[in-house]
Structures are given as structure tokens and as C-alpha cells.
């Protein structure tokens, strides 16, 4: 993080398009120098939030602060924001050099300084030497790098990315996302990144914000979201998850979580306080361990029948029918001793059970 | 913490504000406040000085004093609310007072007052931007206010005047029954009926023929289909009444057909036994419904063809191939798959044909005879000694309502019913061929059609070189000499040069406003946009004759007196050509992703700079072609300008029509063919240079 890094704060920001509520009274703080990803289903308001921060769209109500400056009423031109568009939005009638140097020309920088600075940022994105090319003479990935260079050339206070990698094939995407992460960390510019791809989100972000229907579902570092989702929606959205119904039974120190054939003692630190009755659990596929059928009821154990089996190269995916519904898991392909319609048992370590704290009636 | 709760006072630099103030103040002291007696073309120094503001009305001195006092305020930036309020209210009120003053005293605005009004509107825009209109963007606010101002003065106000003329009698008393009296008066019902019958028949015929040509051009496998390319050029370069004129040459009383029939079947004809009276007499069958119908069908079919062929070309051949693989014959495929897919295009072509037929003025004027339609009836209500403005206005309202309703149906009903999605993906070149019988029939039809069209244009060309069509076919140059060799002061030159210079001025004007309107329509939503939306609909739908009447009524008297000036003709041409600019601008802008402009804004470029550096370069070819076609349209337009052209401001088309009226067919046709030829050369030149420019650097928009 550099000294110039600033904090971005949204206070009670709403945005309506006519009757559509694209954003509903959101409060968010983006820590200085971090990269925060907005993740959520289509139409949940990610792009809208980004455009409000950029100033391209005015807020309906609420305030936006960059550091200690209220920028709510500043136009995009004066907000000091860089943005990488999904379509790259490179000017088709300008060369790479002219595209990247555009903002410098607007600011009446001396021509020599322009080409120096342009070369500098092009080097950062490994595109030096392409100055004379037109955008339609570049590959998608190269265009994308130029777009990143253009967004960074004025050393903005804030960098915004709207699904920057969605038009790039999956192999290239991985290296591009690492590049973006590296550049962002080196520059220390507070950044907001929109994506559909949760793997991308987990890989690049300091923080992830899960959005749903125009409001914030949960914000936190990737691990926190993965291991402690607060709602079923988050559990399903980040990583793969089997969300199952469970029951809290017993009193005092004998409280237990019961799901199917399995019983788990409630320990301190589980986020259930003194609730009773039905709750929801998230069982990640990787914590479900399949074993040949055992008729014991010792450790938390579920019984079931394999209904589907799909060979995926290194792993095999299983769908298992149990009393609490169908569960999804994987096993190594080398030990492929299970076939469809085999009866099996599933072992789970109690500490791997994720209790979803949201009120399950909601 | 630094707290800014207010919008920062606008981006408008004080220097911009200062320059508007200074222009207004200078205009007050130097330019005539009221209109000069004989216009800007002819005045004495004395008249000029007399027309200055303080000489005319002492109280107008308030204006320059007020504006001078406001100069220091340009630098005063207390808060956006206060300075915005100041600049919106003071110039706004001053502008209102100025307009009301001129209207109330029935004085005509002079150049000075016009310039001052524009400056006041600009300052008002500054104030509105400060108050947050268009998100504080002064340039956009100014552009929007400018467009609203233009549309109000040159569309709403004149159209309003039409209604004003019908609903109020000469003494200014509200008399709604006048309208009903006029439309129920003798003959009006027949005129309306005639117009509708004609429009309907022409709509049907052009659609049918347009469909035939479209099928042939897109699907036929013969070479002849390349002939149809001519369709893209002919209707553009041909003045609307020329087809009518050529029909007279061929089918008219003294036309070839009559001549031929006379020769064979007339008294003493070749096939008639000596002494018997003959089976044929010269007949004027072409004057009337048949002639207008033929002329309009011939000149409007290309438009219908373009609409239908555009849609036909975008039908995905896979759908037809799917039908063929399911054992459907080519005929069945055509009937059950292709035609239903292009049904919206067919309906659209029909409605366009109807509108254009109802709005056409030139052909009914030349060929009408006893068959009177609304557009000519409007003209004849005013022309000559009639001067029945109320009647012209009432008929104008009917024509306007008719064409607005068709336009409305076209937009609401067909706009949403397109099954053909234009993906931009080139479908493979293999198109489903036509059924064999159909192709043969169509070939015959196309050949006959082009034979006829060729004959028409040839007769126009030849007509200028023969002594007296129908009577004396000796070749002569006399018509052309009469037109072109009598010096620049007489013959055809004055009107030709007028046409050229007006059209040259109208083209950039209409393109500027048209593209600006397109920009606002595709890019901006704001409170009050409906005004521009409705103005645009009127610009598209209003028939030329209605514009003509409206302008006569609106601009013949104070406060805006423009009749008899070149300005009114330039403005009329600009309005008539504006759909070209708007349509071109809209289709180009909708292909340019808004993220390009946003990327530019985020690079600290203001909106003016963004338009200049990003949009204009990408719109270059649109702007050039819009200018070129506006120019051609202005050169060939007749319906509106015929009301407004005077002895000094005669244009080519009105001159030709006046020669037709006085029976100098040879001269008229000679002039017409020169006009067509000039436009043809110009069009080919433009297309050639544009084609070259396009291969220079393919600009792709993402
Ligand atoms: N200009 C607009 N006018 C009207 N509604 C809009 C506009 N922009 C967005 N919306 C609506 O606001 C909601 C949020 O849209 P937004 O584009 O922010 O979604 P998103 O999360 O970016 O979706 P995606 O992942 O598909 O890009 C949607 O319901 C959308 O239809
Ligand atoms: Mg989006």
C-alpha cells in the first residue's frame, strides 16, 4: 500500500432506474490499497455500483467518499478514477500510443513526457513495442492489457474493473488475472473488481463482497467467506456446497446437531448461541469422505446410495442419495472402488461442518 | 474533514460566459434591433442606424446595462445554487421579455435581437447546467436547450400557427366551428377520399412491386438482378415531379402512345379505311388518378424495395433450409416460412408507400387534372388570388393528422414485431433459390419495368433537345441555350445558383442539428426529453406542403418575419432534409458503444472534448454522407419551398414547375435533365470518394 492509497466509502447509497431498484441503501467501506471483488448473480447491481463509484452514473441518494473528500456530486471527469471496461473500449481510430496517452494529452502534458509515460505503463503490462498498432490489430488479451495501461496511466485514486477477463479464453485468463493482481499491488491503488467467476474472485481479492438483489449479502476476506458463510446464498455462491437441514436437540451441555443419521455435539464457538429447532448446515464436497458401508453410529456418519458417478480425469464426482437429500462429493480416481447403486457411508469431521447462522426461517 | 455538500460551481469557464455577454452587448450597439425594411440584402446606412435598439425603443437600454453589470458576476462563484439561479433566471427572464415584447408590439426581430436572443439562451443554459441540468455539463445542457429552441421555433410554433389559423377567425376570435365548416364544405370530402384511395392503391402497388424486386435482387440467380442497384440512386437524384413530366411525354395528349395510336387508329390512320371517322381520338387519360398512380408507383417502389430487401437479406437461410429438408417445396417454403418472416417489412413498406403518396406534391401538381388531392388542394388554396389561409390550414391539419397516424401505427405496431434479428453475422453466401416459375415471371417483370423506366428517363433527356414534343421532333439546342446562355442574370442560372447555394448552406446546418438530435435521442434521458421526441416525430412525419403552409403562416408577420428571404428557404431545406441526418446519426451512434465515451470521460476529457476526439472521428463517414444526401435532397425538394420561393429566391425546382405551368415543356424538361445529370455526377463522386476513404482505414467499433 502506498501513501496515496485512499479509502472508498459508500454511505447509504441507493440507485433506482425508474421503478427498478438497482441498489438499495448499501453501506460499504473499501480499505485503502486493497482489491475488492464484487460477486453475485446477473442483475444484482455490480455494474451499477461500479458506475456509481466512477461517477458515470449519479446516485439516487446517499454519499460516496474518496478518503476525506465527498465526491458524490463530482462528475466522472473530475473524480480521478481509472476503469477497465468489459469491452475494453479502446478508441478504434487511435493507435495504442494515442489510446494510452489520451488522458495525458487532455491534461496538456508535453509530448516527450507523454511518450515516456506511455512507454512506462506499456512496459508494466508487457506491451511495449506495440505503440503504433491499432486496436483491431491486437489480440483480445493484448487489447485488454492496453486497456489496463490506459486506466493506470494517470495514476488514478481508484481503479475499477468490470468483468475485465470475461472475453478472454480460460487459459489466458489465469495469467491475466495474476498480472492484474500484481500491478494492483505494486501500485497500491484501491481497486474494485467485478466478476462472475468465483474462482477468479477467490484468487485475486483481498476482500469479496457478495451481492444479491441490490444489497450486500456478506463482505469479508475470501477465506472468511468460504469457511464462514453467513447465509445459504453465500454458501452456495462461494465454492461448492451441500446445504442441508438439521435439528438442534437437547439442553445445556448435551446439545446436539442432528442431521440424518449423524449427531454432532455442540461445542463452544459454534455460531448458534442458544437457538433451538431447525438450522441449516453447509457441507463442502471436499469434507465428505466416502467409505464402504459401515453399520456403526460412532462418529458423524451418513448412509446413502451412489446414484450417479462421473469420471472427471483426476477425480470422480459422486451424487449420493441420503435421508437428508442428494449430496455431491468427489473421490480420487485412483481409488475408484465405488460404483453406481453401491451402499456407502459418509464420514465428516465435526470441525468441518459449517453452520449457517442466518435465521433459517428467513 | 473537508466537506463539500454542494456541487462545485460548474465547469463553464468565466471566459465563456464573458464572451456570450460581450457578443450580446456588441450586437445591441451595432446590429439592427428591428428588422430592416427590405431585409439584409438591401439597406441604407440610415435605415441601419434607425433600426438600432436605443433609437427604436428607449427602454431596451435596460438590456445592455444589465448585461454589462453582470460581467463581474461571471467570476463570482459563491455556490452552484446561487450562481446557477442567477444565470438561469436573469437571462431566462430577459429572453422571455424580449420575445413577448416583439410579439406584443407586433414588431419584427432584427439581426441584433436574434443574436441577443441566442446569447441569452446560451447564458440560460449555463445557469441550468450550474443548477445540475444534464449533470452540470454545460455543453450538453447548451446543446439540449439549443435543440429544444430550434424545434420550438421551426416546428412547434409554425404547426401551432396552423391550428391558430383554423380555430381563430380573422378578428382573432375563437371559432372552433370554422374548422368543421371548412372540412364539411363542398369538395373537401372528395379531396380526402381521393387522397386516401390514391395512397391506399399506391401503398399496395409499391409494396407488391417492391416485394417482387426484393425477391429478385436477393434471391434470383440471374445477372439482371444487378440492374436493381440503380434503385439506390434514381429516387435520390430525381426531383419528385420529373417522373410525372416524363409520363406526360409518353402517355400525354401529345405523347408517344397517343401519337402511335393516332397514327394507327385515328382518322386517316394506317389501319383505318379511307373516309371512315377512325377508332381513336387523342385522350387525356393520363391526367388524373391513373397518371398520379403510375408516377407515384414508379417513383416510390424503390423505397419499398429497400425496406423489404433489407429485411429479406437478414432472414437466416437456415430456417428456409430447415423447411426444405422437411420435404416442403420451394413454393411452400416461400409461402409458409419466408413471407411470414418478412411480414413486418412488407407492412412497413405499405405504410411508407401510403405516407409518401399522401405527402407527394409534385406529381399530382403536374398530372392531377380533375383529380385533386390534399397536398395540391392546400397549395391551390393559397396560390394565385385565392389566399384562403384558413382553408389551407384546415386541409393541412387533415393531411398532418393522416400522416401522423400512419407514422404512429408504423412505429408502435411494426417496431415491435420484427422476427428477424440482425446479428451482424454474415450468413454463408448460399441463399435459398426462388421457385423456377416465379423467377421466370419476375425476370419478365423486371425487364419490362426497366424498359419503361429507361424510356421515361430517355424521353426527359430527349425532350430537352426537340423543338416541340408531339408536334415537331426536329433536334434543337434552343431550349438549353435559352436556359444557360443568357448570362447569370436570366434564364436558369439565377434559380440554379440559388438552389446550389441554399442547399450548400442547408446541408451542414441540417447535419449538425440532425446528428445532435440523434446524439440526444440515443444517449440522453432527462426530464423534458419528450419535447425533442415529439419534435422528431413531427420532423419525420410532416408532409412538405404542410410545412410550407405553416411557414407562410408563421413567418409572414412579426415577431419572426422571414418570408421572402433566403434564410427561410435554407431553413426549410434543412428541416426537410433533417430525417437523413437524424436517421444516419442514430444508426451510427447505436453502433458506437457508449463505453468509448465513458472511457474518454474517465480520462479527464469533458463532454465537448469527448465528442470532438472520440465521436466525431467515428462519425466522419456518416456526417459526410448525411451532408451529401441533404444537399441532393435540398436541390430536388419542391413541396415546401414552392410556398416560400419568391421572384428573388426562386430555386431550380420551382423555376421548372413555373415553366411547366406556362406550357414550356421543352425548357422544363431540358432543365430537369440537367438537374438530374448534375445530381447523378455528384452522387457518383461522393460514393466513389467515400468508397476510397473506407478502404484507407477500416474503423471497427467494438
Ligand atoms: N440504465 C439502466 N436503466 C434501467 N435499468 C437498469 C439500467 N442499468 C441497470 N439496470 C437494472 O439494474 C439492475 C442491476 O443491473 P447491473 O447492470 O448493475 O447488474 P450486474 O450485477 O452488473 O449484472 P451482470 O452480471 O449481468 O452484468 C438490473 O435489474 C438492471 O436491469
Ligand atoms: Mg454487469
| Residue B161 and residue B113 share a domain | no
| Residue B507 and residue B616 share a domain | yes
The pLDDT tens digits of the residues spanning A219-246 come to 999 999 988 888 989 988 888 888 888 8
Cell numbers for A30, please give them: 473499501
Residue A282, domain extent: 240-356
Cell numbers for B37, please give them: 425594411
Closest ligand to A17 CA?
A: 1
| Residue B345 and residue B203 share a domain | yes
What is the ipTM, given to two decimal places? Answer: 0.84
In contact, A307 and A348? CB cutoff 8 Å: no
Does the residue B132 lie in any domain? yes
B591 touches chain A (CB under 8 A): no
B381 versus B136: which is more confidently predicted?
Answer: B381
B427 versus B598: which is more confidently predicted?
Answer: B598
For A303, B316, B324, B436, the CA distances from B433, given in Å and listed in that order, are 65, 13, 11, 8
B608 touches chain A (CB under 8 A): no
User: pTM score, two decimals?
Assistant: 0.85
pLDDT at B306: 86
Cβ <8 Å between A85 and B701? no
In contact, A268 and A232? CB cutoff 8 Å: no
Closest ligand to A56 CA?
A: 1
Residues with CB under 6 A from ligand 1: A 17, 20, 22, 40, 42-48, 196
| Residue A91 and residue A181 share a domain | yes
Atom of ligand 1 minimally distant from the CA of A15? 12
Is the per-residue pLDDT at A307 higher than 60? yes
d(CA B325, CA B674): 54
> Nearest chain B Cα to A78, which residue?
B604
Classify residue B13 by burial, with Cβ atoms within 10 Å: 0-12, 13-18, 19+.
exposed
Task: Tell me, in angstroms, the distance from the centre of ligand 1 to residue A243's CA.
Answer: 29
Place of cell 400557427: B161
Under the banding of pLDDT at 50, 70 and 90, the label for residue A359 is low
Task: Tell me, in angstroms, the distance from the centre of ligand 1 to residue A21's CA.
Answer: 9
Does the residue A362 lie in any domain? no
Cβ <8 Å between A75 and B135? yes
Under the banding of pLDDT at 50, 70 and 90, the label for residue B171 is confident
Does the residue B251 lie in any domain? no
Measured at the alpha carbon of residue A56, what is the angle toward residues A50 and A59, in degrees to the nearest 5? 75
Q: Helical H runs in B477-565?
A: 478-484, 493-523, 529-541, 544-555
Long-range contacts, stretch B694-702, CB < 8 angstroms, 24+ apart: B694/B621, B697/A93, B697/A134, B698/A136, B699/A92, B699/A93, B699/B617, B699/B618, B700/A92, B700/A136, B701/A92, B701/B591, B701/B592, B701/B593, B701/B596, B701/B618, B702/A87, B702/A88, B702/A89, B702/A90, B702/A92, B702/A135, B702/B593, B702/B596
pLDDT at B401: 93
Least confident of A140-144, B105-109, B149-153, B426-430: B426-430
| Residue A63 and residue A194 share a domain | yes
B609 touches chain A (CB under 8 A): yes
d(CA A234, CA A253): 30
Tally of domains within chain B: 3
- Chain B: closest CA distance from residue A169 (Å): 18
Does the residue B250 lie in any domain? no
Which CATH number belongs to the domain containing residue B501 in this structure?
1.10.3720.10
- Chain B: closest CA distance from residue A77 (Å): 4
Q: Which of A30-34, B64-68, B135-139, B383-387 has the highest mean pLDDT?
A: A30-34
Mutational pocket test of ligand 1: of A24, A43, A213, the residue with most ligand atoms within 8 Å of the beta carbon: A43
- Chain B: closest CA distance from residue A16 (Å): 14
Point out the domain boundary residue: A215, A233, A251.
Answer: A233
Point out the domain boundary residue: B440, B473, B494.
Answer: B440
Is the per-residue pLDDT at B682 higher than 70? yes
Helix (H) or strand (E) holding B656: helix B652-661
| Residue A285 and residue A157 share a domain | no
Task: Give the SS3 label for residue A24.
Answer: strand
Under the banding of pLDDT at 50, 70 and 90, the label for residue A25 is very high
Does the residue A132 lie in any domain? yes
| Mean pLDDT taken over chain B | 83
pLDDT at A336: 59
CB-nearest to A56 from B8, B601, B617 is B601
Antiparallel, parallel or unpaired: β A69-70 and A301-311: unpaired
B253 versus B131: which is more confidently predicted?
Answer: B131
Closest ligand to A162 CA?
A: 2
Is the per-residue pLDDT at B51 higher than 90? no
| Residue A229 and residue A282 share a domain | no
| Residue A268 and residue A146 share a domain | no
CB-nearest to B603 from A75, A86, A102 is A102
B598 touches chain A (CB under 8 A): yes
Cβ <8 Å between A103 and B598? no
Under the banding of pLDDT at 50, 70 and 90, the label for residue B423 is very low
Tally of domains within chain A: 2
Helix (H) or strand (E) holding A264: strand A262-265
> Nearest chain B Cα to A93, which residue?
B699
Does the residue A361 lie in any domain? no
| Residue B358 and residue B313 share a domain | yes
> Nearest chain B Cα to A148, which residue?
B599
Residues B384-388 have a mean pLDDT of 74
In contact, B580 and B633? CB cutoff 8 Å: yes
**Intra-chain end-to-end CA distance of chain B, in Å:** 42
Least confident of A289-303, B102-116, B195-209, B587-601: A289-303
Does the residue A3 lie in any domain? no
Task: Tell me, in angstroms, the distance from the centre of ligand 1 to residue B40's CA.
Answer: 55
| Residue A166 and residue A130 share a domain | yes
Point out the domain boundary residue: B375, B408, B440.
Answer: B440
B525 touches chain A (CB under 8 A): no
Under the banding of pLDDT at 50, 70 and 90, the label for residue A362 is very low
The pLDDT tens digits of the residues spanning A87-136 come to 889 999 999 999 999 999 998 899 999 999 999 999 999 999 999 999 99
Does the residue B82 lie in any domain? yes
Cell numbers for B508, please give them: 451542414
Task: Tell me, in angstroms, the distance from the centre of ligand 2 to residue A216's CA.
Answer: 16
Does the residue A196 lie in any domain? yes
| Residue B197 and residue B119 share a domain | no
Antiparallel, parallel or unpaired: β A289-292 and A343-347: antiparallel
Point out the domain boundary residue: A177, A208, A233.
Answer: A233
Task: Tell me, in angstroms, the distance from the centre of ligand 1 to residue B346's CA.
Answer: 35
Under the banding of pLDDT at 50, 70 and 90, the label for residue B695 is very low
Atom of ligand 1 minimally distant from the CA of A49? 18
pLDDT at B4: 34
- Chain B: closest CA distance from residue A313 (Å): 37
CB-nearest to A89 from B596, B606, B617 is B596
Residues A39-67 have a mean pLDDT of 93
Closest ligand to A197 CA?
A: 1
| Residue A314 and residue A272 share a domain | yes
Does the residue A300 lie in any domain? yes
Task: Tell me, in angstroms, the distance from the centre of ligand 2 to residue A237's CA.
Answer: 17
Picking from A11, A102, A106, A137, the residue whose alpha carbon sits closest to that of residue A62 is A11
| Residue B527 and residue B381 share a domain | no
- The fraction of chain B above a pLDDT of 70, given in percent, is 90
Does the residue B129 lie in any domain? yes
- Cis amide leading into B559 (omega within 30): yes
d(CA B580, CA B582): 6
| Residue B200 and residue B153 share a domain | no
- Chain B: closest CA distance from residue A207 (Å): 25
Does the residue A141 lie in any domain? yes
> Nearest chain A Cα to B7, which residue?
A73
Please tell me the residue having the least CA distance from ligand 1 atom 22. A47
Task: Tell me, in angstroms, the distance from the centre of ligand 2 to residue B339's CA.
Answer: 38
- Chain A: closest CA distance from residue B694 (Å): 13
| Residue A41 and residue A118 share a domain | yes
Residues B616-643 have a mean pLDDT of 90
Residue B425, domain extent: 183-239+289-440
| Residue A260 and residue A143 share a domain | no
| Residue B299 and residue B354 share a domain | yes
A267 versus B406: which is more confidently predicted?
Answer: B406
Point out the domain boundary residue: A172, A199, A233.
Answer: A233
B chain contacts of residue A86, beta-carbon cutoff 8 Å: 595
Which CATH number belongs to the domain containing residue A18 in this structure?
3.40.50.300
A201 versus B42: which is more confidently predicted?
Answer: A201
Number of other CB atoms surrounding residue B322 within 10 Å:
13
Atom of ligand 1 minimally distant from the CA of A18? 4
Under the banding of pLDDT at 50, 70 and 90, the label for residue B487 is confident
Cβ <8 Å between B605 and A106? yes
| Residue B495 and residue B415 share a domain | no
Selected for mutation to probe chain A from B602, B620, B699 (highest A CB count within 10 Å) is B602
CB-nearest to B702 from A56, A87, A106 is A87
CB-nearest to B699 from A70, A92, A103 is A92
Task: Tell me, in angstroms, the distance from the centre of ligand 1 to residue B107's CA.
Answer: 54
Point out the domain boundary residue: B414, B440, B466.
Answer: B440
Which CATH number belongs to the domain containing residue A313 in this structure?
2.40.50.140
Place of cell 469422505: A289
| Residue B524 and residue B506 share a domain | yes
Residues A243-265 have a mean pLDDT of 82
Under the banding of pLDDT at 50, 70 and 90, the label for residue A14 is very high
Least confident of B223-232, B457-466, B507-516, B644-653: B223-232
Cβ <8 Å between B606 and A77? yes
Does the residue B339 lie in any domain? yes
Is the per-residue pLDDT at B702 higher than 70? no
User: What is the DSSP annotation of B60-92?
Assistant: GGHHHHHHHHHGGGGG--S-HHHHHHHHHHHHH
Task: Give the SS3 label for residue A347.
Answer: strand
Is the per-residue pLDDT at B5 higher than 60? no
Is the per-residue pLDDT at B511 higher than 90? yes
Picking from A244, A235, A174, the residue whose alpha carbon sits closest to that of residue A210 is A235
| Residue B156 and residue B129 share a domain | no
Cβ <8 Å between A106 and B609? yes
Is the per-residue pLDDT at A255 higher than 60? yes
| Residue A168 and residue A71 share a domain | yes
| Residue B523 and residue B414 share a domain | no
Mutational pocket test of ligand 1: of A14, A19, A21, A22, the residue with most ligand atoms within 8 Å of the beta carbon: A22
Is the per-residue pLDDT at B654 higher than 80? yes
Please tell me the residue having the least CA distance from ligand 1 atom 14. A45
Look up residue B7 and give its DSSP letter: P
Residues B107-126 have a mean pLDDT of 88
Cβ <8 Å between A58 and B135? yes
B chain contacts of residue A76, beta-carbon cutoff 8 Å: 598, 601-602
**Intra-chain end-to-end CA distance of chain A, in Å:** 40
Does the residue B264 lie in any domain? no
Closest ligand to A49 CA?
A: 1
Under the banding of pLDDT at 50, 70 and 90, the label for residue A300 is low
> Nearest chain A Cα to B596, which residue?
A89
Least confident of A261-265, B598-602, B627-631: A261-265
| Mean pLDDT taken over chain A | 87
B chain contacts of residue A75, beta-carbon cutoff 8 Å: 11, 135-137, 601
| Residue A289 and residue A210 share a domain | no
Cβ <8 Å between A78 and B700? no
pLDDT at A100: 95
Look up residue B603 and give its DSSP letter: T
B699 touches chain A (CB under 8 A): yes
Does the residue B255 lie in any domain? no
| Residue A247 and residue A211 share a domain | no
Amino acid at each position: 500500500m502506498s501513501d496515496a492509497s485512499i479509502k472508498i466509502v459508500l454511505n447509504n447509497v441507493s440507485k433506482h432506474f425508474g421503478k427498478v431498484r438497482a441498489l438499495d441503501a448499501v453501506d460499504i467501506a473499501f480499505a485503502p490499497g486493497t482489491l475488492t471483488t464484487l460477486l453475485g448473480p446477473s442483475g444484482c447491481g455490480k455494474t451499477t455500483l461500479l458506475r456509481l463509484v466512477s461517477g458515470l452514473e449519479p446516485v439516487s441518494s446517499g454519499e460516496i467518499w474518496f478518503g476525506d473528500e465527498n465526491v458524490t456530486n463530482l462528475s466522472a471527469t473530475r473524480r480521478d478514477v481509472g476503469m477497465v471496461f468489459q469491452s475494453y473500449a479502446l478508441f478504434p481510430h487511435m493507435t495504442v500510443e494515442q489510446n494510452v496517452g489520451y488522458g495525458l494529452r487532455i491534461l496538456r502534458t508535453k509530448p516527450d513526457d507523454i511518450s515516456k509515460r506511455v512507454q512506462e505503463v506499456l512496459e508494466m503490462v508487457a506491451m511495449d513495442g506495440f505503440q503504433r498498432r491499432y486496436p483491431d490489430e491486437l489480440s483480445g488479451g493484448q487489447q485488454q492489457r492496453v486497456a489496463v495501461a490506459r486506466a493506470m496511466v494517470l495514476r488514478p485514486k481508484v481503479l475499477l474493473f468490470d468483468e475485465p477477463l470475461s472475453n478472454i479464453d480460460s487459459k489466458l485468463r489465469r495469467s491475466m488475472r495474476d498480472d492484474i493482481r500484481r500491478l494492483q499491488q505494486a501500485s497500491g491503488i484501491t481497486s474494485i473488481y467485478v466478476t462472475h467467476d468465483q474462482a477468479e474472485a477467490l484468487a485475486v481479492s483481498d476482500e469479496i463482497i457478495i451481492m444479491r438483489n441490490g444489497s450486500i449479502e456478506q463482505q469479508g476476506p475470501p477465506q472468511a467467506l468460504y469457511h464462514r458463510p453467513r447465509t445459504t446464498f453465500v454458501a452456495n455462491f462461494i465454492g461448492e456446497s451441500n446445504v442441508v437441514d438439521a435439528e438442534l436437540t437437547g439442553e445445556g451441555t448435551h446439545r446436539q446437531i442432528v442431521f440424518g443419521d449423524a449427531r454432532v455435539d455442540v461445542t463452544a464457538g459454534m455460531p448458534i448461541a442458544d437457538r433451538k429447532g431447525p438450522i441449516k448446515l453447509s457441507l463442502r464436497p471436499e469434507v465428505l469422505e466416502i467409505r464402504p458401508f459401515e453399520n456403526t453410529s460412532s462418529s458423524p456418519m451418513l448412509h446413502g446410495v451412489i446414484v450417479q458417478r462421473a469420471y472427471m480425469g483426476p477425480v470422480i464426482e459422486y451424487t449420493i442419495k441420503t435421508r437428508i437429500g442428494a449430496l455431491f462429493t468427489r473421490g480420487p480416481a485412483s481409488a475408484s472402488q465405488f460404483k453406481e447403486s453401491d451402499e456407502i457411508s459418509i464420514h465428516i469431521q465435526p470441525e468441518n461442518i459449517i453452520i449457517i447462522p442466518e435465521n433459517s426461517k428467513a | 474533514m473537508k466537506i463539500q455538500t454542494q456541487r462545485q460551481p460548474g465547469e463553464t469557464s468565466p471566459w465563456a460566459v464573458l464572451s456570450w455577454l460581450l457578443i450580446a452587448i456588441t450586437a445591441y450597439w451595432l446590429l439592427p434591433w428591428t428588422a430592416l425594411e427590405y431585409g439584409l440584402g438591401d439597406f441604407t446606412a440610415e435605415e441601419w442606424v434607425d433600426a438600432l435598439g436605443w433609437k427604436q425603443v428607449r427602454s431596451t437600454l435596460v438590456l445592455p446595462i444589465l448585461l454589462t453589470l453582470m460581467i463581474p458576476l461571471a467570476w463570482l462563484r459563491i455556490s452552484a445554487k446561487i450562481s446557477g439561479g442567477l444565470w438561469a433566471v436573469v437571462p431566462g427572464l430577459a429572453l422571455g421579455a424580449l420575445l413577448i415584447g416583439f410579439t406584443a408590439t407586433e414588431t419584427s426581430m432584427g439581426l441584433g435581437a436574434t443574436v441577443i436572443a441566442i446569447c441569452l439562451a446560451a447564458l440560460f443554459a449555463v445557469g441550468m447546467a450550474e443548477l445540475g441540468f444534464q449533470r452540470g455539463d454545460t455543453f450538453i445542457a447548451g446543446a439540449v436547450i439549443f435543440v429544444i429552441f430550434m424545434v420550438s421555433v421551426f416546428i412547434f410554433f409554425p404547426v401551432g400557427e396552423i391550428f391558430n389559423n383554423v380555430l381563430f377567425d380573422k378578428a382573432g376570435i375563437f371559432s372552433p366551428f370554422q374548422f368543421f365548416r371548412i372540412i364539411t364544405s363542398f369538395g373537401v370530402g372528395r379531396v380526402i377520399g381521393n387522397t386516401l384511395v390514391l395512397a391506399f392503391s399506391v401503398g399496395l402497388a409499391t409494396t407488391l412491386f417492391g416485394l417482387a424486386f426484393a425477391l429478385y435482387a436477393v434471391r434470383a440467380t440471374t445477372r439482371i438482378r444487378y440492374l436493381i442497384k440503380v434503385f439506390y440512386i434514381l429516387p435520390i437524384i430525381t426531383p419528385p415531379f420529373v417522373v410525372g413530366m416524363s409520363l406526360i411525354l409518353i402517355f400525354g395528349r401529345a405523347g408517344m402512345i397517343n401519337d402511335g395510336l393516332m397514327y394507327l387508329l385515328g382518322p386517316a390512320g394506317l389501319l383505318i379505311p379511307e373516309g371512315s371517322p377512325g377508332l381513336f381520338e387523342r385522350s387525356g387519360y393520363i391526367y388524373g388518378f391513373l397518371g398520379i398512380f403510375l408516377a407515384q408507383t414508379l417513383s416510390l417502389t424503390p423505397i419499398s424495395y429497400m425496406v423489404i430487401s433489407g429485411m429479406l437479406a437478414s432472414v437466416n437461410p437456415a430456417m428456409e433450409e430447415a423447411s426444405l429438408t422437411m420435404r416442403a417445396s420451394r413454393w411452400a417454403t416461400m409461402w409458409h416460412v419466408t413471407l411470414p418472416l418478412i411480414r413486418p417489412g412488407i407492412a412497413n413498406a405499405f405504410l411508407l408507400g401510403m405516407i409518401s403518396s399522401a405527402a407527394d406534391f409534385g406529381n399530382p401538381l403536374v398530372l392531377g387534372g380533375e383529380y385533386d388531392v390534399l397536398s395540391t388542394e392546400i397549395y391551390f388554396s393559397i396560390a394565385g388570388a385565392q389566399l384562403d389561409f384558413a382553408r389551407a390550414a384546415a386541409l393541412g391539419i387533415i393531411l398532418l393528422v393522416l400522416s401522423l397516424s400512419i407514422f404512429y401505427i408504423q412505429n408502435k405496431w411494426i417496431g415491435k414485431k420484427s422476427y428477424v434479428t440482425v446479428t451482424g453475422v454474415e450468413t454463408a453466401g448460399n441463399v435459398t433459390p426462388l421457385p423456377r416459375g416465379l423467377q421466370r415471371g419476375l425476370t419478365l417483370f423486371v425487364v419490362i419495368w426497366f424498359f419503361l423506366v429507361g424510356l421515361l428517363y430517355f424521353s426527359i433527356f430527349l425532350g430537352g433537345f426537340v423543338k416541340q414534343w408531339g408536334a415537331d421532333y426536329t433536334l434543337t439546342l434552343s431550349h438549353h441555350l435559352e436556359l444557360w446562355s443568357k448570362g447569370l442574370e436570366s434564364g436558369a442560372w439565377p434559380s440554379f445558383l440559388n438552389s446550389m447555394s441554399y442547399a450548400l448552406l442547408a446541408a451542414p446546418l441540417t447535419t449538425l442539428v440532425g446528428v445532435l438530435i440523434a446524439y440526444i435521442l440515443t444517449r440522453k434521458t432527462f426530464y423534458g426529453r419528450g419535447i425533442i421526441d415529439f419534435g422528431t416525430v413531427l420532423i419525420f412525419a410532416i408532409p412538405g406542403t404542410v410545412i410550407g403552409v405553416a411557414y407562410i403562416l408563421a413567418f409572414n408577420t412579426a415577431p419572426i418575419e422571414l418570408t421572402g428571404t433566403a434564410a427561410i428557404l435554407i431553413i426549410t431545406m434543412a428541416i426537410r432534409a433533417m430525417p437523413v441526418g437524424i436517421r444516419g446519426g442514430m444508426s451510427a451512434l447505436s453502433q458506437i458503444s457508449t463505453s468509448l465515451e465513458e472511457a474518454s470521460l474517465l480520462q479527464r476529457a469533458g463532454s465537448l472534448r469527448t465528442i470532438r476526439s472520440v465521436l466525431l472521428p467515428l462519425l466522419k463517414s456518416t456526417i459526410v454522407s448525411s451532408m451529401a444526401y441533404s444537399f441532393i435532397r435540398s436541390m430536388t425538394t419542391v413541396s415546401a419551398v414552392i410556398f416560400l420561393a419568391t421572384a428573388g429566391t426562386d430555386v431550380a425546382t420551382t423555376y421548372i414547375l413555373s415553366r411547366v405551368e406556362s406550357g414550356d415543356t421543352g425548357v422544363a424538361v431540358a432543365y430537369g435533365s440537367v438537374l438530374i445529370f448534375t445530381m447523378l455526377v455528384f452522387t457518383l463522386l461522393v460514393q466513389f470518394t467515400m468508397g476510397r476513404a473506407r478502404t484507407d482505414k477500416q474503423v471497427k467499433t467494438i
